[in-house]
Amino acid sequence: MTATTTARASGAARAPRRRRTPPPVLARRAGAYAAGAAVLVFSVFPVYWMVATAFKPVGEIFSKDVRLFPGSLTLEHFDRVINGELIPGVNFWEFLGNSLLVTLGSVAAGALLSLLAAVAVARFRFKMRTAFIMVLMVIQMVPCEALIISIFINFRRLQDASGVQMLGNLTGILIVYTAFSLPITIMMLRGFVAAVPRELEEAAAIDGAGPWTVFWRILMPLVAPGLVAASIFAFITAWNEFIVALTFLGRSTEEYTLPLTLSYYFGRFGTEWGAIMAASTLLTLPVMAFFLFVQRRMVSGLTMGAVKG
Amino acid sequence: MAQTAEAVRGQSPPAPPPPGPPTPPRPRRRKIPTPYLLIAPALVLLVLVQLGPILQMVWNSLHSYTVRHLLPTAPAPEWNSFAHYATLLSDAEFWMILRNTVVVCALMVGVTMVLGTAVGNLLHRLPRWFSVTVSIGMMLAWATPAISASLVFRWLFLPERGLANVALDRLPDWLVGGGWLDYNWFLEPVPLFTVLILVIVWQSFPFVAVSVLAGLKSIPDELYEAARVDGAGGWRSFWSITFPMLRPLFALLLVLQIIWDLRVFTQLYILANSFQNKSVYLLSYYIYQQGFSASPANYGMGSAIAVVMTVMILAVTAYYLRIMIRQGETR
């Protein structure tokens, strides 16, 4: 390391610096490339293995002669997952429908509620404002793993008292997903609303636009990117969620979301690794697609005020 | 930052008086609590699903509360004067689970932070095209849902057919020992937690790496060049420049990782695959087992364990909250 530094320092003193790269620098650069390649392999390999297994014929998966690259490819597992019955009596499309319904439902509800709250926090000064923000920040620390018993009991009591079904169907988990993504999405959106220059709204108001016109024509277009980012964030959280679905859906297999279906599939048919990996691949694809969109926002959103994963 | 803009604008002479709602400039009905109407729906939901249950969790933990109390004719849960906590404190199994949770969490967080920081520095040094390629690869690990990741690692470490076992078996015996092919990783705490830590680290180091990379980009290059001229190596300039400059970021990442790793559930659920063996439990797993898998389900005891976990998290979070308040996030 010292050798490198001196070499560089003296190289900087002379004019043609880039010409003769001293060997230590070259070795170091090769080392950096090798380390980068190792990180790349470490990151990608399990994903590769999931997809590769999903395309391997059953015979090859069962064989003890494990090969890094599939000898032949087949779609039989995807066919079985998509067209077969994942759980007796229920097929993939119904589970996909359940997952989409609860995810999109909680995303839509969350977007509306958090936009309203974000406007309140960013645009108004009111007595409870600081208290509200503090509550958001504390609440998002307490994980649902700790609250799940209390929420379960509440839903059960509500269900017994009113007859409204809260457990064993998608209503209950939709409500929980919406509530649990709120603190993060409110904090994310608050920044976007605050960034819209107030002069724009004032100018529109002077020109005779009512509050609704100002909201829809001025604020919304400028906050839309934030709304998209927050929604995708909420989508990924709800789409991946496992423990709440596991607890609240119980034996109502026809209401299962995809992650729950996967765990059931694994439990009952522990040896069907091809089908399990095919289903895992299908579950992972939409998340990866969205992730590439919001990756930057995820970083700033998470390090800014959002704690719940 | 938004708050500063607001404050500055509030001071400029032509702006409306700072505390009032600016959108309707007409002074009629000044007292309408618009902000309260706006936060009301979110607040109701938060109180019902999070704030309320936090208090109920504490209440539950102080009562004998089992599944029979949910029956329509059952009496109300009885106050049991801290019996659950007394049981937990005198229960060797609980202490073992608590110790395992702390140790496993510390290992997950430690490895994630070190690896993430190292990779962040590496990405900063690599040429752009390669750095972007590696970042995209890391996105794949980060984006994989917990359940898929757990299943893949279960499959990778499966006895007889799992790639890890086959690979270890084919390596020379003098290096790794023999008999790996039918080795079962999922029965004993040490091997199971090893795989668990591997899954968690695999999924969480990209976030640390990308955050550190973003932080590094904000440090001016001149500082490093000056250090280099002064003869500082990479290690020295990390501890003398990078670490002090990014201390708040590292603190934040550390707290986030601790909070996330204390609550790990899904990965353990797939790897352990049953509630038979208490020696592989972690706290969140224990909560779930008490509340939903034990017979009869013991909500009081599950809540007491949840209180312990919440206190641990809030102790870590107090530090995080202080950072956030100091940064002005609450204003």
How large is the average pLDDT for residues A187-198?
88
Look at residues A108, A307, A230 and name the one whose alpha carbon lies nearest to residue B319. A307
Q: Which pLDDT does position B264 carry in this prediction? A: 95
Nearest alpha carbon to residue B165 among B181, B177, B154? B181
3-class secondary structure, A261:
helix
Q: How far is B174 from chain A (nearest CA, A)?
A: 22
Question: What are the distances in angstroms from CA A144 to CA A148, B50, B181, B241, B300?
Answer: 6, 8, 38, 39, 17
- List of domains in chain B: 91-329 (1.10.3720.10)
Higher pLDDT, A124 or B146: B146
Neighbours of B119 (CB within 10 A): 26
Q: What is the mean pLDDT of residues B250-261?
A: 92
To the nearest whole Å, the CA of B182 is away from the closest chain A CA by 11
- On the question of pLDDT at B211 being above 80, the answer is yes
- Quote the pLDDT of residue A14: 45
The helix/strand/coil state of B298 is strand
Residues of A in contact with B291 (CB under 8 A): 148-149, 152, 247
Task: Please give, rounded to a whole number of angstroms, the shortest distance from the CA of B72 to a CA of chain A.
Answer: 8
Q: How far apart are CA A124 and CA B20, in angstroms?
A: 7
**Structure confidence by residue, pLDDT tens digits, B179-208:** 888 899 999 999 999 999 999 999 999 999
Residue in A18, A69, A147, A186 to test binding to B, most B beta-carbons within 10 Å: A147
* Residue B296, preceding peptide bond in cis (omega within 30° of 0): yes
**Least confident span in A215-229, A261-275, B32-46:** A261-275
pLDDT value for A59: 87
| Spatial CA neighbour of A235 closest among A304, A296, A303, A294 | A294
Q: Fill in the DSSP letter of residue B160.
A: T
Distance from CA of A106 to the nearest CA of B (A): 12
**According to the model, what pLDDT value does residue B8 have?**
40
CA distance B30 to chain A (A): 13
Is B49 an 8 Å CB contact of chain A?
A: yes
Count the residues in chain B.
Answer: 331
Cα angle A285, A288, A293; round to 5: 135
Q: Do B330 and A130 touch (CB under 8 A)?
A: yes
Query: Which residues of A fall within a CB distance of 8 Å from B276?
Result: none
At residue A91, what are phi and psi to the nearest 5 degrees? -110, 175
For chain B, what percent of residues have pLDDT higher than 70?
89
**In chain A, pLDDT over 70 holds for what percent of residues?**
87
* pLDDT (0 to 100) of residue B321: 79
> How does the average pLDDT of chain A come out, rounded?
85
Tell if the CB–CB gap between A198 and B324 is shorter than 8 Å. no
What chain A holds in terms of domains, given with CATH numbers, is 23-74 (no CATH), 83-301 (1.10.3720.10)
pLDDT beyond 90 at A229: no
> What pLDDT does B122 receive?
95
d(CA B240, CA A296): 28
Under the banding of pLDDT at 50, 70 and 90, the label for residue B9 is very low
Cβ of A147 within 8 Å of Cβ of B235? The answer is: no
B70 with A156: Cβ contact below 8 A: yes
DSSP bridge pairs for B113: none
Q: Say whether A85 sits in a helix, a strand or coil.
A: strand
| Reported pTM | 0.87
- Say if the Cβ atoms of A304 and B329 lie within 8 Å: yes
Contacts of A15 (CB under 8 A, 6+ apart): none
> Among B201, B222, B171, which Cα is nearest to B106's?
B201
For residue A251, pLDDT over 70 is answered with yes
**Side-chain half-sphere of A148: how many Cα atoms within 13 Å?**
30
Quickly count: other Cβ atoms within 10 Å of residue B265's Cβ: 21
Locate B129 and state its tokens.
Answer: 């095209």
When mean pLDDT is compared across A11-15, A153-157, B68-72, B278-282, the lowest value belongs to A11-15
Cβ contact B125–A142 (<8 Å)? no
pLDDT digit string, tens, across residues B301-331: 999 999 999 999 999 988 777 877 777 666 6
Q: Identity (one letter) of the amino acid at B286? A: Y
Least confident of A67-76, A238-247, A267-276: A267-276
Residue with more model confidence, B10 or B195:
B195
How many helices (H) and strands (E) chain A has is answered by: 14, 2
Q: Can you name the residues that pair with B64 across neighbouring β-strands?
A: B78
Q: Which of residues 222-251 of B touch A (CB under 8 A)?
A: 228-229, 231-235, 249
List all residues of chain B from 131 to 160 with a beta carbon under 8 Å from chain A. 131, 133-134, 136-149, 151-156, 158, 160
pLDDT of residue A7: 42
